[in-house]
Homo-oligomer: A and B are copies of this chain.
Amino acid sequence: MKRLCLLLLLGIATAAVADEGMWTFDNFPKATVQQKYGVDIDDAWLARVQRATTRLEGGCTGSFASPDGLVLTNHHCARSCIGDLSSAQDDFIEKGFNSGSRAGERQCPGELVSVLVGIEDVTAKVNSATAGLADAKANEVRKQTLSRLESECTSANSKGKGGAFFCESVTLYQGGQYFLYRYKRYDDVRLVFAPEQSIAAFGGDPDNFNFPRWCLDFSLMRVYENGKPARTPDYLQWRPEGPSVGDAVFVPGHPGSTSRLLTVEQLKFQRAVSFPAYIARNSELRGRMIEWAKTGDEPRRIVDETLLGLENSLKVYRGLESALLDDRLMEFKATQERDLRARVSGDAKLAQQSGKAWDDIAKAQARYRDIYDRYAYLESGTGFNSKLFAYARLLVRGAAERAKPNEQRLREYADSNLSKVSAGLLAATPVYPEFETLTFAFSLDKMRETLGPDDAIVRRLLSKDSPDSLASRLVKETKLADPAVRKALWEGGAAAVDAAHDPMIELARSIDAEARALRKTYEDEVQALVNAGQEKIAKARFAVLGTNVYPDATFTLRLSYGDVRSWVEKGQQVEPFTKLARLYERTTGADPFRLPQTWLDARSKLDPNMPFNYVTTNDIVGGNSGSPAVDAQGRLVGLLFDGNIHSIAGSYWYDEKLNRAVAVHPGIILAALRQVYGAEALANEIVGKRR
């Protein structure tokens, strides 16, 4: 009892308390799950689900739906691919995409799909490399060590094992543990099927993060190897009936990022500095995009994907800010921190090792406030919101960095990252000059507003130009929209890049020294202190709480558990399942509540009582999009695509009373394939009826 109270006090709830945690597969709380749900999750179950779960490198999860490389994910996870394959004449966002046959499956530019195949704990190696070093030096050596370990691991594993493998380091518990994760990677990913966006994202931004909900947010892709569908024997079988209320469901996936282990000062930094700036800036950008979209059909089509992403992020950031402005949350965090610090102070060894960590992190946050704006605008890209500028920077830095030994490079240019970088750079994704000019001019405008018109770089860029005229000229004159030009420059290295005299490249080069200097200041004076401090706090936490805790999300493989359950919103119980009938009642005929003709036509063929979406208590976050909901037998019973509005605060804490994940029911997917879209063969492939 004493232990439980302590845990409660420290706010790190255990499974007995709530369906909390995005657990690593090697530390899944099997006993808790057995106790709470009467379900035995054994190692075979875990191994099979792990191999059936994919990571979409764009930031999503998927699952194998057949032995032939078929991947189920969300429509919004394939949105970028669908958009890239579309044109004004052939708009698959609007009309959906149905390959019809394997020959009709079309490759997604730059798309990468990975499967985690092994993990290795390298904490001891990293710690021994940094032992005794001052914070800034330790930070540098840590990065070098991780680059080296990744490179060695990739070399050791990529040979003679069939397919492409690569290794990525993973920092868990904010530095409490370091791992190497080994992935099998597929770089030939093809679009198989996608419904119309109007049904996939029915309700649009108003409904986003809300429930009840009616979104057919699924798509199907297929991974290929050597030009043929990949063999994926560890796929998930489906249970078309879905789950019932109270059924245990498990969600494997790659949750992107949570902030549950941040210190109070780090939370206050988000609350007072980064989030308000983000929200104001991007709300304005949202307005600019929406208004531009009204200038024509093609602008509307072009803006759509970026706008959806932006609106989603805005809702998230506003929700996070709101959580941090909730006294209950901040008082909880303050209490949690105060109690852990008291435990640390009360133990001489712990105090010596970790006692100063919180103050060090606070100092780092204060320093970060000083440099935040310039760092964000000049180094992190806030001032140069342009795909073409991003290409230019990749080319300029890529040339400089690749000339260095692997360990000396900026981390994103380490060998282990280069294939991702080049896949993005070389992918034949469309560039829309007018839209590029809009976002680029906007970011220059905000840079002047934020850094001030008398800032040295602002003055240099905008002494004779307005943000509009500068952006417009650069977008017009650069050649980087052409993938062949980018390829030649990437492969040509520094000499080719120098000789190009491309104005966007010249811009990237002209600010590079200043941007790198800001990054160095950030890394040495902010990041180094935070990392060192968090490593110390992690050690203290392990000492006090043991390792039966889960780390913050890091876009790496996790497993959460929960069940299908209603919740109470403003005194009203929200039923956990929605049904088809109400979809038809809610349509207004105008976006985003417009139903596609296929659904209007199919109405009479469909059972109005069919379940559509449902909610579970699983602890999930962005990155879990596309995650399968899996039952105790390892069968797919749903497709996660969202959380309710309370789930946003899940970045900081998990509240089982309110926090819900939102899933598409498998039955509606199969019904749609068969009865709405006539995609019988695909439905059969999924349910295992061989052709």
Contact = CB atoms under 8 A, between A and B. Distances in A.
B276 A465 contact: no
A452 B574 CA distance: 15
A668 to B, nearest CB: 21
A322 B206 contact: no
A322 B288 contact: no
Contacts of A588: 462-466
Contacts of A591: 466
A130 B294 CA distance: 55
Contacts of A322: 272, 276
Interface string A258-269: 000000000010
Interface of A: 203, 205-207, 210, 268, 271-272, 276, 279-281, 283-292, 294-295, 314, 318, 321-322, 325-327, 438, 442, 448-449, 452-454, 462-466, 468-469, 586, 588-591, 593
Contacts of A203: 453
A283 B635 CA distance: 46
Contacts of A290: 284, 287-288
A198 to B, nearest CB: 13
Nearest to A453: B206
A290 B446 CA distance: 13
A64 to B, nearest CB: 36
A272 B326 contact: yes
List the 8 shortest-distance A-B pairs measured between CB atoms, nearest first: A287-B287, A283-B283, A291-B291, A466-B590, A272-B325, A284-B287, A287-B288, A283-B284
Max chain B C-beta neighbours (<10 A), residue from A268, A291, A294, A326: A291
A98 B69 CA distance: 76
A287 B291 contact: yes
A215 to B, nearest CB: 13
Contact of A276 (B205, B279, B284, B448): B279
26 contacts: A203-B453, A206-B453, A207-B453, A268-B325, A271-B325, A276-B279, A276-B321, A279-B279, A279-B283, A281-B283, A283-B284, A283-B287, A284-B284, A284-B287, A284-B290, A286-B287, A288-B290, A453-B586, A453-B593, A462-B588, A464-B588, A465-B588, A466-B588, A466-B590, A466-B591, A469-B590
A189 to B, nearest CB: 34
A58 B115 CA distance: 64
B286 A206 contact: no
Nearest to A268: B327
Given A287-B285, A588-B465, A280 B314 contact: yes
A272 to B, nearest CB: 4
A3 to B, nearest CB: 34
Nearest to A287: B287
A32 to B, nearest CB: 35
B276 A206 contact: no
A448 B284 contact: no
A281 B286 CA distance: 10
Contacts of A268: 325, 327
Contact of A279 (B280, B286, B438, B454): B280
Given A284-B287, A288-B290, A294-B468, 16 more contacts: A268-B327, A272-B325, A276-B279, A279-B279, A279-B280, A280-B283, A280-B314, A281-B283, A283-B287, A284-B286, A284-B290, A291-B292, A453-B586, A465-B590, A466-B588, A466-B591
A299 to B, nearest CB: 10
A688 B80 CA distance: 71
A205 B449 CA distance: 8
A442 B286 CA distance: 12
Nearest to A285: B287
Contacts of A295: 295
Contacts of A465: 588, 590
A280 B282 CA distance: 9
A41 to B, nearest CB: 38
Contacts of A586: 453-454
Contacts of A593: 453
B327 A276 contact: no
A205 to B, nearest CB: 7
A276 B462 contact: no
Contacts of A280: 279-280, 283, 314, 318
